[in-house]
Amino acid sequence: MHGLLAAVLVAGLVAPTSAMHDLSVVDGPQADRLTVRPSAVDPADSVFGDGLGRQVVLRGYAISGSTKLAENGFTPFRSTADAAAAFATLPGSNVIRFQLSWEGVAPTPDTVDTGYLDAIAAQIRAATARGLRVIVEYHSDLMSRHLFRPDSWYTGNGMPKWAVDRLGLTGKEYCGPACVTWGQHLLTDNSGVRPAARAFWNNTAGVQDAFLDQARQALVHLKSALPERDWDRILGFEPINEPFDGGMEGLSSAQWDAQRLWPFHHRVRDLLDETGWRDKLQFAEPNVFWNSQLGPLVPALGSTPDPLHRSGIVFTPHFYDQARQLPLASPPASGAYLPNFDLIRKTARDWHSPALVSEFGAANDHGGATDTAKEITGEYQALNGLADYSPVLSGTQWHWDPYRGRHHEAQNGNPGKIRTTGDAWNDEDFSVIDQQPQLRDQAYPQAAQGDLVAFSSQALATDAAGDRLRWQVLRPGNGRDYFAGTPFALTIWQGRNSEAPTQLHLSSTLDSPNTVVITESGVHRLADLPGDPRQRTDELVRRGDRLYQWTDSPGVARHFQLIVRDPGLSDIELGELQRALSTVVAAGQNPARVFQN
């Protein structure tokens, strides 16, 4: 290997400068402050950019479903110490979607609980102290637990009791003789959940005004409670989880967007501008049914772009494979979700926004049509994309709950219904904390020195039948297929907009003494890379779970980085692969392709 490395390294790399030697800049305030800008690859697409000029991809987890539970006081963690311990073990994340609850902020009318907000701020600071960026999100699901009877099958969260009382809906939940699914409440509960949603959008009894009034106070309090360095890492605010209409009241979906959803999002944008959050992004969700996969049962509603084209609003959809819950469904295969996520890309383009998929994932320990490993592998495959040019999507997976299986939640306050298993929430079990490492620790480009063209990775998770998911392969055009059964990650980017390096999260799956890194400039052994950029003699530095690469050619040149664990190739074969990849990437092609066992 060492003889090959010396032979194939190409001279002419950018001469190291003092600025490039100092990696502290990639963890500084400039790197944390995100903006939205057009992609240089295709200006119709928007991307996240940092203050160093790099394109940024945000990946992490929702923190967490425990916010829905009264046992936790509607906070993600039971203590700040628990929060710090969780963030110390979070694999590879550079962002979290941090939940709080309307009921926690304002348990009584016209006041906010500053003690609750201080607890939230302390837990957020445990995240920012680890360098994590934070999206602050008001979480609600099925509107409110106070819409459900003590003996109800299900429960909700979000709206406090006093707000539900104003609407006269307390304890009237009913969605049929057997309310057995989450979606059934959204579609048929015409006594509780649906009228509460309609009331919110229509501002009945001033309930939307009340929500925004307490949100205003919460935003001001949180800003004042966060020191400047922690504040730098707050990306923005997501005001509502999975908005749904509760009944269109004779409106088309486009009319409902224009007359209900977008006026709310504009009110929130005004609120951010008025409370010191002007430089922060607003993460705005479409109607939860915008991209339904349930066909004639629940027709897709589409998503209408902002008619006012307000800046600072980010397209923030969710994706769950609802179709696989239907009878006679088959398990997802490689490439199954690419059309769904390409629709996300198209809709983001229509919104003139990047996309951040703020929820996706799958229930634990499922097989058959709902095979957990296949669903999650397919979702990450589709987040990344497999076209010659495919915008790499940001996302926060649902969810990271350190209390999985150790809850003690009295559902709807009923001591006879103590929930302990899974998420302790409506029989869900989505926390990834106990999943196999190949699912919960995914490689991805955290930042690119230029503009991302494509990213593909293969982690080789194991499905419910015990088979390894060999779903991708490299075909660089030299008559050979590579790495169908090998973990790899391939990043392709264009140009150079920054002196700061491209930065990849190196997952544990890829970290091996025999891992090889191939670029247009040469072949390298991961084990031989320096950890101190002042010691580097070429383009690569490895520090912890990050791999840094500096490139020259600030014009339109395309660059690539292929990381392969235990490639099983001779020096001559690695050199042949390096030359083939250089050729196809320079020609505008992505050699990663769909592959199935």
Per-residue pLDDT tens over the stretch 479-491: 999 999 999 999 9
pLDDT attached to residue 327 = 82
Phi, psi of 266, rounded to the nearest 5 degrees:
-70, -35
Q: Which residue has the tokens 């491209």?
A: 502
Q: Is 111 helix (H, G, I), strand (E, B) or coil?
A: coil
Residue 564 β-bridge partners: 488, 516
192's tokens: 């509780």
Average pLDDT for the chain: 93
Can you give the length of the chain in residues?
Answer: 597
Helical segments of 64-188, H only: 80-89, 102-105, 114-128, 161-167, 182-188
| pTM listed for this prediction | 0.95
Per-residue pLDDT tens over the stretch 339-369: 999 999 999 999 999 999 999 999 999 999 9
Q: Is 462 exposed, middle or buried (0-12, 13-18, 19+ CB in 10 A)?
A: middle
**Strand 592-594 vs strand 472-474: parallel, antiparallel, or unpaired?**
antiparallel
Per-domain boundaries in the chain:
2-32+450-594, 56-435
Q: What is the 3-state secondary structure (H, E, C) of 452-469?
A: EEEEEEECCCECCCCCEC
Residue 281 β-bridge partners: 236
Q: Are 354 and 46 in contact, with CB atoms under 8 Å apart?
A: yes
**Strand 502-505 vs strand 546-549: parallel, antiparallel, or unpaired?**
antiparallel
Please give the helix or strand (H or E) that residue 234 lies within, else none.
strand 234-238
What's the pLDDT band for 295 if we cut at 50, 70, 90? confident
Residue 468 neighbours by CB distance under 10 Å = 16
Please give the helix or strand (H or E) that residue 31 lies within, else none.
helix 29-32
pLDDT-above-70 percentage for the chain: 95
pLDDT attached to residue 533 = 78
pLDDT attached to residue 555 = 66
Q: What is the 3-state secondary structure (H, E, C) of 524-537?
A: EEHHHCCCCHHHCC
DSSP type of residue 5 = H
Stretch 263-273: mean pLDDT, rounded?
A: 98
pLDDT attached to residue 384 = 98
**Is the pLDDT assigned to residue 70 strictly greater than 50?**
yes
Per-residue pLDDT tens over the stretch 400-455: 999 999 999 999 999 999 999 999 999 999 999 999 999 999 999 999 999 999 99
Stretch 365-384: mean pLDDT, rounded?
A: 97
First to last CA, the chain: 30
414's tokens: 């009923």
Amino acid in the structure at residue 429: D
**Is the pLDDT assigned to residue 5 strictly greater than 50?**
no
Question: Which has the minimum average pLDDT: 152-156, 233-237, 566-570?
Answer: 152-156
Helical segments of 401-556, H only: 437-440
**Is the pLDDT assigned to residue 3 strictly greater than 80?**
no
Please give the helix or strand (H or E) that residue 134 lies within, else none.
strand 133-138
pLDDT attached to residue 14 = 37
Candidate CATH numbers 3.40.50.410, 3.40.50.880, 3.20.20.80, 3.40.50.12660; the one for domain 56-435: 3.20.20.80
pLDDT attached to residue 553 = 64
> Nearest to residue 470, comparing CAs of 480, 483, 484?
484
pLDDT attached to residue 433 = 96
Q: Are 102 and 214 in contact, with CB atoms under 8 Å apart?
A: yes
Q: Which residue has the tokens 């949603």?
A: 197
In angstroms, the CA 476 to CA 479 distance is 8
Per-residue pLDDT tens over the stretch 502-555: 999 999 999 999 999 999 999 999 999 998 877 776 799 999 999 999 987 666
> Nearest to residue 592, comparing CAs of 393, 452, 457, 448?
457
pLDDT attached to residue 183 = 83
Per-residue pLDDT tens over the stretch 6-30: 333 333 333 344 345 578 899 999 9
DSSP calls for 503-568: EEE--GGG--TT-EEEETTEEEEGGG--SSGGG-SSSEEEETTEEEE-----SS-EEEEEEESS--
pLDDT attached to residue 171 = 78
